[in-house]
Chains A and B, each alone.
Chain A
Amino acid sequence: MSTAPHDHALYQGLFRTMTEGCAVHELVHDEAGAVIDYRILDVNDAYVEIVGLEPEAVLGRLATEVYGTHAAPYLERYARVAMTGEPDQFEVHFRPMAKHFRISVFSPRLHAFVTVFADITREKEEAAALEAEVAHKSDLLEQALDSRVLVDSVASAVFTVDAQRRVTSWNREAELLTGYGVDEAIGQPCTMFAKEPCTQGCSLLDDSGGEAVRGRECRVLRKDGRVITILKNAVPLHDDTGAAVGTVESFVDISEERAAREKLVASEHRLRALFENLDAGCAIYRAVDGGTDFVFRDLNATGERLEGVDRMDLVGRRVTECFPGIREMGLLEVFERVQRTGEPENLPAAIYEDERLMGWRENYVFRLPDGDLVAVYRDRTEEKQVEHELARYKDKLEELVGARTLQLRDEVAEHVRTRRALQQSEARLRAIFGALPDLVFLVDEDGRYREVLTGEEDLLVRPSDEVRGARLQDFFEPALVERFMALVQKTIEAGTTQRIEYTLELPDGLHHFEGRSAPLEQPVQGRRAMVFVARDISDRKKLEWQLSDALDLSEAITRAAPVGISAYDADGRCVMANEAACRIVGADHEQVLAQNFRHIESWKRSGLLDAAARALAGQSSERVEIHTTSSFGREVWLDIRLAPVSSRQRHHLLAVYDDISEQRVAEREVRELTRDLEDRVRRRTVALQAANKELEAFAYSVSHDLRAPLRAIDGFSRAVLEDYGERLDDDGREYLERLCGASQRMGGLIDDLLKLSRLTRRSFEPSTVDLTGMAAGILEELQAAEPDRETELHVDPELVVRGDRALLGVALRNLLENAWKFTGQRPITRIRITGRTLPDALAVSVSDNGAGFDMTYVDKLFGPFQRLHGMTEFPGNGIGLATVQRAVLRHGGRVHAEGRVGEGATFTFILPSHGRGSDSVPPRGV
């Protein structure tokens, strides 16, 4: 073997540094050429470390020396490698070192060999441990294999089915999950536990070709009816020939996981809906470029609307690309910060602007747990615009206000000046006006008006401007002018105050004036003059006239008043009495005036004197009603009012009285009459009650005693017929038969009479009665009794009244039975029940196309025992319609009939709709 020098160096390096221990040896032969030992020629560092011998102790030495053993270890194997060149490998356990080595041997040349040691102690130990565990487990497994312990202790439900899908084993968990005990499950088809039919074959036996099934979700119906969701595995079982013999199935209850999952999905949906319906814009981003830019992940509908974008265009794109203005707006900075710190931030309204859109947005930014960023934002553009506008207007307004304020200040100053001047001049005039009454004139000696001062222009014959400078004769008649001029001269000449009264025609009628004049000391424009003050005294004049009129009138009224009026002074003397007063007490005027009420006997007796004292003392009016005999002998009832009156500081008593004698007498009579009437009613009621009792007793005895002989007649006739029939001839027998028939009819008659009597005696019990239903029921009964009759029946719907159900039932039944009876001979029976609403009443008619009747006898129809048809033609006892009438009368209604012979009849009963029966009406006799 030759190697190039550089190869040699390479191998040397490799040899020294390799991690396996490596030693080079050569064989040592004896004289006979047999291999007896080997010599160690070279070792590497790893060898030194593994074996623990220094190179000096081993190099050039024999193995027996180095290892201290009798024979060189593995000599035979090594020699074979060194002699044949076939490499070898084996593992050894060095007990002194408690180490395992894998030794690889190869031969570089004849008689030499190289050993490579690898320390495999750890591998060996691990393998041994594994082996021990496996052995242990297989032991356990073997022990448990045939027992239920294994199957029962697993956390899954496990069961097996045979080829017919019948359960052959069933573990504890399966019992718990399904609620079926092992005894109940064994032998049952496994499909009994399935909630739905198993459309996908889980039994592997038929459709899945024996493949195992894993992770199928099914629903299982528990024994208690609860449905649970399970996740199951199934593995087919085969026999030795490979034929399917059954399945092992295992399952776990995942109902809760399933429910939780569904809840999660629902919650996701809810959140999604919330997101979509949020009235704020909402965008979700994911950070890119190390959190310096953000990609759209989602945007809600509000966001789409606000920004005028479609979310599909945005998702996946960068926000800086879609909204280039975001950095200027300051929002990107916020995004970066929130992304970094996780602290939510609010960016108050900030303006966003790019080529496409401009607006104010308020943003709230936060980070989701998964790192995504959410921005919720609102459009504040409008608010901002309004704010802006407001600010602009405010400035302008302030400017305007400033200018206006200055202007106003000037104006006010001007006003103040003007007003002060005016006030000064007005004050003088005002003083005159305030001091003088109504009209003030300055008139000069020529009768010319020099000045007019008045607040009452209406009282001037001309406007004051025209009056100034005019003369008296310009306005007044000559006679009045003369009077005025006389006044002027007197005033001015005599220098004294004068007075005058005069009347003027003014637009609103005649006015009376009182004028006073006084001379002026100073001449006016060179002429002597006077002041003339006129006052309108029309109102005073009118009052005077009215007063005198009123006095006349009141006297007339007092005199003629139909009530007595008299007045007395404080001492009780009569000072005044009118005609009625005299008439009432039955005296003449002088007699009345001569009276003093304090001494009138009847006043004392009747208590009137006390009332008078009270009225005078309390200064209040009193009202009393007295019944007395007057001082003049008249018996009177008086309704008297006494009132104190004061006239010129003197107190009087005024008495006003009504003669109510007639009323009172009438009342007394009425009271007496009423008492009498009540007595009579009471007596009548007692008599009626007695009669009623008697009637009841009568009815009772009719029921009892009248029927007894009838029964005897019938019974004994029958007895004769039966016992002695053959001794009688045909006539005799027929007579007896008639006797029986008659007594039975009479029995029927008595029964009907009793019913009628009971009808009137029973108490009235009002309720809501459905006549439609009632009539239909009765007609049904009648039809059922004679099903062969051809009929056309009609009942109006909703005939509902308030009344006594039993009474109305009897009435309706009688009418319908009559109608049915009298139509018996017609080919078609036609009966109609119709209703008609009247004011405060309901009219119900029963019409038929039966035999009808002659209207001549209509009055007899409703009397008891009245019959219009022969017994043989239509049987009956004539009580039915009487019964109907009784029943209707007790409702406060009435009944009438119309008919024509051979053409049918109509019976109508009218029930008042207040529904009140004659409860209080005493029962009528039969």
Chain B
Amino acid sequence: MSSCTEHILLVEDNPDDVTLTKRAMKKAGIVNPIQVAEDGARAVELLLGPDAGPLPALVLLDLKLPKMDGLEVLRVLRSDPRTELLPIVVLTTSSEQRDLIRSYRLRANSYIRKPVSFAEFVQAVGQMGVYWLILNEAPARSLGE
């Protein structure tokens, strides 16, 4: 179980989506601090770079990103022992089968499609938060070190 003080890393380039996601989290009662990476390269830097801080409780990853796309980010994170077990939820607009399949092949923990309706989005984010931040038992951190 994760403490509600552990942060969430949101990898998202669209500022609208950042705002809406944050708002949806708040609406869904998720109070963990949210760190934002605007592109894939930044996300990798934040998690594995020389100045990397403690790992987040959860990474929300968009697929369509500048510089390094979401699938590439997944591949890099999964090949590093520090983040190979980190819970990563793909949160994207695409419902293409091949995106789904590639994400799961690269060992994403979940794949959630952002609905157009904000009400549904709040619901989806809420359920996701409850599941990944409260219900799910993540492996001990030291494992990855």
Residues on B with beta carbons closer than 8 Å to the beta carbon of A545:
none
B114 proximal to A (CB < 8 A): yes
Residues on A with beta carbons closer than 8 Å to the beta carbon of B20:
711-712, 715-716, 719
Residues on A with beta carbons closer than 8 Å to the beta carbon of B121:
711, 715
Give 10 pairs: A residue, B residue, CB < 8 Å, sorted on A: A700-B94, A703-B96, A704-B92, A705-B64, A705-B93, A715-B16, A715-B121, A719-B20, A740-B118, A747-B116
Contact with A along B64-75 (1 / 0, CB 8 A): 100000000000
Residues on A with beta carbons closer than 8 Å to the beta carbon of B117:
714, 740, 744, 747
CA–CA, A716 and B96, complex, Å:
26
8 Å CB interface, B82-139 against A: 92-96, 114-119, 121
B23 touches which one: A700, A709, A715 (CB < 8 A)? Answer: A715
The answer to whether A711 and B23 touch across the interface, beta carbons within 8 angstroms, is no
Residues on B with beta carbons closer than 8 Å to the beta carbon of A700:
94, 96
Task: Report the minimal beta-carbon distance from B63 to chain A, rounded to whole angstroms.
Answer: 8
A707 proximal to B (CB < 8 A): yes
Residues on A with beta carbons closer than 8 Å to the beta carbon of B95:
703, 751, 754
CA–CA, A819 and B115, complex, Å:
29
Q: Answer whether A712 and B93 are a contact pair too, CB < 8 Å, given A704-B64, A707-B116.
A: no
The answer to whether B119 and A718 touch across the interface, beta carbons within 8 angstroms, is yes
- Closest B residue to A703 by CB, please name it: B94
CA–CA, A707 and B118, complex, Å:
12
CA–CA, A703 and B20, complex, Å:
19
A188 proximal to B (CB < 8 A): no
Residues on B with beta carbons closer than 8 Å to the beta carbon of A744:
116-117
The answer to whether B94 and A711 touch across the interface, beta carbons within 8 angstroms, is no
B14 proximal to A (CB < 8 A): yes
The answer to whether B17 and A711 touch across the interface, beta carbons within 8 angstroms, is yes
CA–CA, A711 and B24, complex, Å:
12
The answer to whether A711 and B93 touch across the interface, beta carbons within 8 angstroms, is yes
CA–CA, A700 and B92, complex, Å:
12
Task: Report the minimal beta-carbon distance from B42 to chain A, rounded to whole angstroms.
Answer: 19
A778 proximal to B (CB < 8 A): no
Name A's B-contacting residues (CB within 8 A): 700, 703-705, 707-712, 714-719, 740, 743-744, 746-748, 751, 754
- Closest A residue to B14 by CB, please name it: A708
Q: Answer whether A708 and B23 are a contact pair too, CB < 8 Å, given A703-B94, A747-B116.
A: no
CA–CA, A751 and B115, complex, Å:
11
- Closest B residue to A755 by CB, please name it: B95
- Closest B residue to A754 by CB, please name it: B95
Residues on B with beta carbons closer than 8 Å to the beta carbon of A705:
64, 93
Residues on A with beta carbons closer than 8 Å to the beta carbon of B64:
704-705
The answer to whether A703 and B93 touch across the interface, beta carbons within 8 angstroms, is yes
The answer to whether B118 and A711 touch across the interface, beta carbons within 8 angstroms, is yes
The answer to whether B17 and A708 touch across the interface, beta carbons within 8 angstroms, is yes
Which of A700, A711, A740 is packed against the most chain B CB atoms within 10 Å?
Answer: A711
Q: Answer whether A719 and B116 are a contact pair too, CB < 8 Å, given A703-B95, A711-B93, A711-B121.
A: no
8 Å CB interface, B17-69 against A: 17, 19-20, 23-24, 64
The answer to whether A714 and B116 touch across the interface, beta carbons within 8 angstroms, is yes
- Closest B residue to A710 by CB, please name it: B116
Task: Report the minimal beta-carbon distance from B126 to chain A, rounded to whole angstroms.
Answer: 15
Q: Answer whether A719 and B96 are a contact pair too, CB < 8 Å, given A711-B114, A711-B121, A744-B116.
A: no
- Closest B residue to A717 by CB, please name it: B118
- Closest A residue to B114 by CB, please name it: A711
Residues on B with beta carbons closer than 8 Å to the beta carbon of A748:
116
Residues on B with beta carbons closer than 8 Å to the beta carbon of A740:
117-118
Residues on B with beta carbons closer than 8 Å to the beta carbon of A754:
95
CA–CA, A716 and B21, complex, Å:
11
- Closest A residue to B27 by CB, please name it: A722
- Closest A residue to B64 by CB, please name it: A704
CA–CA, A765 and B64, complex, Å:
31
Task: Report the minimal beta-carbon distance from A861 to chain B, rounded to whole angstroms.
Answer: 28
CA–CA, A744 and B20, complex, Å:
16
CA–CA, A703 and B92, complex, Å:
10
The answer to whether A743 and B23 touch across the interface, beta carbons within 8 angstroms, is no
Residues on A with beta carbons closer than 8 Å to the beta carbon of B16:
708-709, 711-712, 715-716
Residues on A with beta carbons closer than 8 Å to the beta carbon of B23:
715, 719
Residues on B with beta carbons closer than 8 Å to the beta carbon of A743:
116
7 further A-B contacts with Cβ under 8 Å, apart from A711-B17, A744-B117, are: A700-B96, A705-B64, A708-B14, A708-B17, A711-B93, A711-B121, A747-B117
Residues on B with beta carbons closer than 8 Å to the beta carbon of A703:
93-96
CA–CA, A718 and B19, complex, Å:
13
CA–CA, A168 and B24, complex, Å:
82
The answer to whether B96 and A711 touch across the interface, beta carbons within 8 angstroms, is no
Task: Report the minimal beta-carbon distance from A750 to chain B, rounded to whole angstroms.
Answer: 8
Residues on A with beta carbons closer than 8 Å to the beta carbon of B17:
708, 711-712
CA–CA, A705 and B93, complex, Å:
8
CA–CA, A751 and B96, complex, Å:
11
